Amino acid sequence: MRWLHQWSIPFVAITLTCSSGAIAIAAEEQPAAEGKEFQAYKQEIQGTDVSFAMVAIVGGEFTMGSPDGELGRGADEGPQHRVRVESFWMGKCEVTWNEFELWSLQTTLQEANRKKVNRSPLDLKADAITRPTPSYVDLTHGMGTRGCPAICISQHAAKKYCEWLSAKTGLYYRLPTEAEWEYACRAGTDTAYSFGDDPSLLDEYAWHDGNCDVDGVKQYHPVGLKKPNPWGLYDMHGNVAEWVQDKYEASFYNVSSADQIADSPLCIAIREYPRVTRGGSWMSQPSLTRSAARQPSTKKWKESDPNIPQSAWYITDAPFVGFRVVRPLRTPTLEERKRQRLDAVVPSDVVENRLMVD
């Protein structure tokens, strides 16, 4: 199913207060948001010493996809078409284990109970969010956790984390759409990578198959060690591939004609497979880390999942997939979120096979 949904999102003044743990910080170089207050900030997760940075991405138009002559181009990257996205904040880095395990292992709740700390209304709401069943394997594959991106997490689990984070902070977080992700990755560029067309420069910006060795063993790396893109986002190329909202359709770009501008396009996912990841990873050849490169999920990503029946939470055979969060400038209504399936919904494949009840 092809779906184009238009969001009419006005620019509004945003005041970031300590009640949500959000603290304004200096914005990266971006076009001015028409004189309105819209800036980068640091999100603190209350009751912990964990925080993460959010970059203000001013909405606009761009050419999505790659031209026919781009080195390494896939057929699913075209035809190129004009897309308009609205303003949003995006995580400066990929979500790390430090952040993810606050929810998945309930470490914040355990610590609060140990210290007999009173729980705030936001804490109580967050505590009620369903969390993953324990994994029977080391999801890091021995690559470490501190400062490293969370991996082997299904799109369902990534969306549930966003639901928990939204409850915990009182601010609405979700996965980016495919269009938002590419707009942010390109950062105003129209080249194969955000730094140009020359893949020989990739080592300066990305961890990929050719430079990710540690003592002869290939692996991911802590986030934010390479150069950022022009808008201050790290690891958009490589390190781990990132979940986006969309169902994978090789021909989805055909929904727009040459004289149309697609407003906030989203290919709504109903079935569990295939869905889209972007950016390539530490296991990827350089061509798969390009701004326009797309990778569909497959059932092989959880083929050896020892959680019986196979879990909706983990993709144990995909140590190359993680995610980052966005926060739209305008919080969508509950009806919009349901209609566009922006939040966590148990994949229909899982429901039909009676593998899990959310």
Q: Which residue, 266, 234, 277, is CA-closest to 84?
A: 266
In this prediction, residue 347 carries a pLDDT of: 74
d(CA 358, CA 356) in angstroms, rounded, equals 6
Cα-Cα-Cα-Cα dihedral of 165, 167, 173, 177, to 10°? 100
Measured between alpha carbons, how far is residue 329 from residues 19, 130, 173, 264, 338 in Å?
A: 18, 26, 10, 13, 18
Q: Using one digit for the tens of pLDDT, what is the confidence trace for 288-328?
A: 999 999 999 999 999 888 775 668 999 999 999 999 999 99
Lowest mean pLDDT among 52-61, 78-87, 120-129, 235-244: 120-129
- At the topology level of CATH, where does 60-88+97-352 sit? paralog of FGE (formylglycine-generating enzyme) (3.90.1580)
Could you tell me which residue, 163 or 29, shows the higher pLDDT?
163
- pTM for the full predicted model: 0.89
Could you tell me which residue, 358 or 273, shows the higher pLDDT?
273
In this prediction, residue 257 carries a pLDDT of: 61
Average pLDDT over residues 89-117: 85
Q: Using one digit for the tens of pLDDT, what is the confidence trace for 238-283?
A: 999 999 999 999 999 987 666 789 999 999 999 999 999 999 999 9
In this prediction, residue 134 carries a pLDDT of: 84
In this prediction, residue 308 carries a pLDDT of: 58
Which band of pLDDT confidence, cut at 50, 70 and 90, is reported for residue 131?
very high
**Which tokens in the block code for residue 44?**
């603190």
The domain locations on the chain are 60-88+97-352
Contact of 141 with 218, CB cutoff 8 Å: no
Lowest mean pLDDT among 8-17, 62-71, 177-186, 231-240: 8-17
